[in-house]
Structure 1
Amino acid sequence: MEKPNSSNALVCELINKGTREWNINNLNSWFLPEDREAILGIPLSSSNTPDRLVWAETRSGKFTVKSAYALALEEKVHNTRADCSDESAGKIWKTIWQLRIPQKIKHFASKAARDILATKSNLAKRKITPNGMCDLYVVKMRKQSVICYGAVIMPKKFGRIAGSGVVIRDDAGEVFAALSKKWKSPLGAIEAEAKALEAGVNFAREVGIREAEFESDSVVICNALQGLVSPPSSVVNVLAGIMNEVSYFRQWKFAHVKRQGNVPAHLLAQHAKNVEDFVAWRADCPSLIEHACMQDKM
């Protein structure tokens, strides 16, 4: 049997069916680091949501003639740049494709020649990321309410991981449960916000909460869940899974909250870099956020 690689692998082979996360071992074996990072940056829904077609050239994921025209012009420039106009250059490319080396190395050379590698600058050109700068800073995402949660993109020294913090409180403000969870994926800010909210909803359901108000400091995510705007294409399935999960609650509400008063969840999100997968607390307040919770109640 032919060994799977980036040219014949099926998407289902790249996903761990038990955890609904990317299969890191297969990704490492079959893809180049640039392609692997791009794949890991796509958040997966923890629910079994149906597949859907997404047009990657627009933020909404919907096809437009304008975006197709822009893509055609861009590809024309790249192809012109990569085309071998002279015979000697043509022989070089022919030799490269005949080399007995892994296909992914050949594909990498081809992409590099056409300047279509998944670099930050190229992703910014296609409006997949907000800018083309390297992520050398911490992006903080914090939320607070009956369930409050936060997500933070760690600096490169931690391997570009995303974390979330979840704090569940009762009407009196007492901590009922808390969670600190890590994803070993280079998620973007919006993607990390969506996965943090998903973690909060799933955790609340697991600990027996049936009436809850879920708050997020992401206006985009809150408006999308309330049906006010179309969600970004990268998180459509995650938000669809969230809506499926909240249907099990008797009462639920999504609301936007400013990030200033959410220290406990933010601390738990930062703490995620110290855990292997996740750590949860029940019926008590984690010592690392005890002081922050006291201050938050005042």
Structure 2
Amino acid sequence: MWHCSEDGRFSVKSAYNLITVEQMRDTASSSNVGVPFDWKMVWNVEVPQKIKMLAWRGVRDVVASHGNLARRGVTLELTCPMKIPRENLREWCSSVWKFVKDLNWWSLFWSIAWGVWLRRNGWTFDRKRMVGTDVIRKAVSIVGKFELAKEVRNTNPHAMLFETRWKPPLAGVIKLNSDAALLSPNEVGFGGAMRDYVGDVVVATCFRMEGGFDVDIAEALAMRHALSITMEAGFLRLCLETNCLKLHSHLKKGYVTPTPFGRIVSDILTLSRLCHFCSSSFVKRDGNRVAHGLAKACNQFSNLRVWLEECPSDVMELVLADLSHNDA
């Protein structure tokens, strides 16, 4: 009786699976004999599960690297296609773990490792080379997005996620709504609407900028632009409202990351500290239609536009719609 299949019958597939498992076991054990390892640095980090699985396979030395494929009988060149020297990952991680116990550091490290692995595969299979700085930028983004996703999951949804209508601020405070709109593949529009406690527009602005931006960066740029215009108009008691959850979260926590997005957030926070009062709030897209309408209005203007106590007629219709919802 063949013990490696459910029905007890021999098959080429079951034999292949047996050989593959044994080879993987031999590879892992021969590479890691006598090297203690604390798996907290893998399983306790705050990264997506797919990155943890790559880390686990990397530490056990069972990823589909050229060396491991060669040991399984695949004929190929043993040097790394990107000329990266091969080292024992398990030994290296164990030596670093003695001095670095910060799981945030390991979250970033494994995210960078994930980026390096994708970079290596992109070069191996598609001959596409990713710049090293892009690998780091995306790694930082992965960590930030994962932390944000956890925060959203643990946040009271009724207090943060499902507010769909624009609501006026407290008396004496100006609510600043901002948004970005894609005008073309290489151009975006920024819109900002500033309204008082009765819903009247006190300042409105739109501005177009050339370049391709990630959505979160475009939203942050729109907020920075609108905040600058508002402060120049003399309003210093503000509520900053956006439909970008990532931007709102970073402003609420005062969280700045070493990324292009983080630098813009830092600018916004610096400006907000010059105000007499400044808070932030989140609203879904339906409650941010006025700012979005101003961002789309950039198609009508080639330069910066600022309106005091008025705005374009098509945008005014959206303002009146907000007021009618509040009256209802």
- Which of these residues, 245, 270, 276, is aligned with residue 219 of structure 1? 245
- Native 8 Å contact 2:256 2:265 kept in 1: no
Aligned to 2:182: 153
Using a 3 Å threshold, how does the CA distance of structure 1 residues 262 and 79 change in structure 2: closer, same or farther? closer
The Cα RMSD (Å) is 3.4
Q: Which whole-Å deviations, capped at 9, do the CAs of 1:70-127 have from their partners, x for residues lacking one?
A: 344445445656xxxxxxxxxxxxxxxxxxxxxxxxxxxxxxx731268xxx99xx57
Q: CA deviation at 1:69?
A: 3.0
**The one of 175, 182, 191 aligned to 2:208:** 182
Go from structure 1 to structure 2 and tell me whether the alpha carbon gap of 1:166 and 1:72 turns closer, same or farther (over 3 Å shift).
Answer: closer
Separation of aligned partners in 2, 1:168 and 1:114: 49
Q: TM-score, normalised by structure 2?
A: 0.50
Structure 2 residue corresponding to 1:279, chosen from 296, 299, 305 = 305
How far the C-alpha of 1:229 sits from its partner, in A, is 6.1
TM-score (norm 1): 0.55
Structure with a larger share of its residues in helix: 2
CA distance in 2, matches of 1:216, 1:129: 20
Aligned to 2:109: 65
User: CA, structure 1 residues 115+170, in 2 after alignment: closer, same or farther (shift >3 Å)?
Assistant: same
CA distance in 2, matches of 1:195, 1:62: 31
SS at match of 1:268: helix
Q: Match for residue 226 of structure 2?
A: 200
Q: Of the two structures, which has the highest relative contact order with CA contacts closer than 8 Å and spacing of 6 or more?
A: 1
- Cα distance in 2, alignment partners of residues 239 and 167 from structure 1: 19
Q: 1:244 to 1:114 in 2, by over 3 A?
A: same
For 2:127, the equivalent position in structure 1 comes to 114
Give a deviation string over 1:124-183, Cα, whole Å, max 9, x none. Answer: xx57999xxxxxxxxxxx9956212221123xxx34311121111111111111001111
Partner of 2:294: 268
Partner SS, residue 253 of structure 2:
coil
8 Å contact from structure 1 (residues 193, 218) kept in 2: yes
- Give the total of aligned pairs: 190
* Counterparts in 2 of 1:167 and 1:73: CA distance versus 1, 3 Å: closer
Deviation at 1:290, TM superposition (A): 1.9
Structure 2 residue runs of 5 or longer lacking an equivalent are 1-103, 143-163, 169-174
Structure 1 gap ranges (5+): 1-59, 82-112, 131-141
Change (3 A) 1:172 1:127: same
Q: Distance in 2 between matches of 1:127 and 1:182?
A: 30
Q: Percentage identity across aligned positions?
A: 19
